[in-house]
């Protein structure tokens, strides 16, 4: 009996590695590799969505800045002092350009992280990079608000009526 069992073990050791898996089955290594590819694809699609939102935010800021510049030109045609508004609009344009460049830097970081074989370590700096991009966009928005505020006319001081109707 011992000889038969040892014969089967020897036969399994010799023939076992040459036996191929049936069609449609996969090894644990293949399953792990497929999971990694699925995760990379999900990360890539999420990153595309985030970049779409960031690009849309920059586009909205650009459109708003164009409207502010148009208003500056109209006020300048009316001989209104718009020096402060021009300076604020130029600062806003610089802030928008800075936000665009930080988005491009962030895009290269995400692409490098998405193709990494160690996604946990690769995505750690992504969180801080996204915070920097958002802060740059918010700064550009604040600069545009400053330009708009500098364009507003100061309202005339209100005068009270002395007829005593308020009493």
- Is 68:89 a contact under the CB 8 Å cutoff? yes
Per-residue pLDDT tens over the stretch 69-112 = 999 999 889 888 889 999 999 999 999 999 999 999 999 888 88
Greatest mean pLDDT range, 88-97, 113-122, 123-132:
88-97
Please state the φ and ψ torsions of residue 127, each to the nearest 5 degrees. Answer: -60, -45
127's CB contacts (< 8 A; 6+ apart) are none
Shortest CA distance to 140 belongs to which of 58, 53, 50, 56? 58
- Region 55-81: mean pLDDT is 92
Confidence of residue 52 (pLDDT cuts 50, 70, 90): very high
- Degrees to nearest 5, angle at CA 56 with 53 and 60: 140
Give the containing element (helix H, strand E) for 68.
Answer: helix 28-77
Q: Tell me the CA end-to-end span of the chain in Å, nearest whole number.
A: 118
* CB neighbour class for 79 (10 Å; exposed up to 12, middle 13-18, buried from 19): exposed
Write down the domain spans for the chain: 36-151
pTM of the model: 0.68
Question: CA dihedral defined by 73, 78, 79, 80, rounded to 10 degrees?
Answer: -70
The rounded percent of the chain whose pLDDT value lies above 90 is 38
Shortest CA distance to 136 belongs to which of 107, 101, 109, 111? 101
């Amino acid at each position: 009996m011992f000889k038969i069992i040892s014969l089967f073990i020897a036969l399994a050791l010799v023939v076992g590695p040459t036996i191929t898996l049936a069609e449609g089955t996969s090894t644990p290594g293949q399953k792990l590799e497929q999971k990694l590819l699925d995760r990379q694809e999900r990360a890539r699609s999420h990153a595309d969505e985030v970049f779409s939102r960031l690009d849309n935010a920059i586009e909205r800021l650009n459109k708003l800045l164009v409207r502010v510049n148009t208003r500056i030109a109209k006020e300048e045609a009316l001989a209104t002092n718009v020096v402060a508004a021009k300076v604020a609009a130029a600062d806003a344009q610089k802030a928008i350009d800075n936000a665009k460049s930080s988005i491009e830097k962030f895009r290269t970081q995400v692409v490098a992280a998405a193709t990494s074989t160690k996604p946990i370590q690769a995505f750690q700096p992504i969180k801080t990079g996204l915070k920097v991009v958002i802060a740059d966009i918010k700064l550009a928005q604040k600069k545009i608000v400053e330009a708009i505020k500098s364009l507003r006319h100061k309202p005339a001081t209100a005068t009270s009526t002395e007829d005593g109707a308020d009493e």
